[in-house]
Amino acid sequence: PEITRFLGEYDHIEIIGRGPSYSSVLQGALMFKEAVRIPAGGILGGEFRHGPMEMVKEGFRAIVFAPEGNTFDQSIKMALDIARFKGKVILITNSDIKFSEPNIHVFRISVKDEYLFAIGGIIPLQFIVNFRAIDLGLKPGYFTRGAKITKVE
């Protein structure tokens, strides 16, 4: 798929969002850790801006949630800054925004409400995680060291 080609090879990914999207950010990071078995950070946009932004360079990969609403402009600026520092960004949004920046790939969803966006926004993440797992020869949803239902603590 196009999204897999865009991301290329990577062994770590940061998932960034603000406000209501933060729940999708954390769920996305968990899915990458479980299904793709790579480190994945889930972080608030403001926290990422004030420190972890320093690790952005060529080879860096991020998924940024940018629903229309209170945090839209900040999220778009975040995506543009990551791209400017040579990182690649998948931007999950409900906006019709267009970019000429080759390091940003837009994944649009149709959920307009910024609070419900957090639910719809998880679907693109599921696709990205599944495609990456398959690329690595893994079976999405298959656990080797645990189970979907925790029986042992």
Query: What CA–CA distance (Å, rounded) separates 21 from 57?
Result: 25
| CB contact at 8 A, 74 and 93 | no
Give the pLDDT of the chain (153 residues) as one tens digit per residue: 788 889 999 999 999 999 999 999 999 999 999 999 999 999 999 999 999 999 999 999 999 999 999 999 999 999 999 999 999 999 999 999 999 999 999 999 999 999 999 999 999 999 999 999 999 999 887 877 776 676 766
* Partners of 41 in beta bridges: 14
Q: Which residues contact 7 (CB under 8 A, 6 or more apart)?
A: 61, 88, 90, 128, 132
CATH class of 2-135: alpha beta
Q: pTM for the complete prediction?
A: 0.92
Domain locations in the chain as residue ranges: 2-135
Query: What CA–CA distance (Å, rounded) separates 107 from 105?
Result: 7
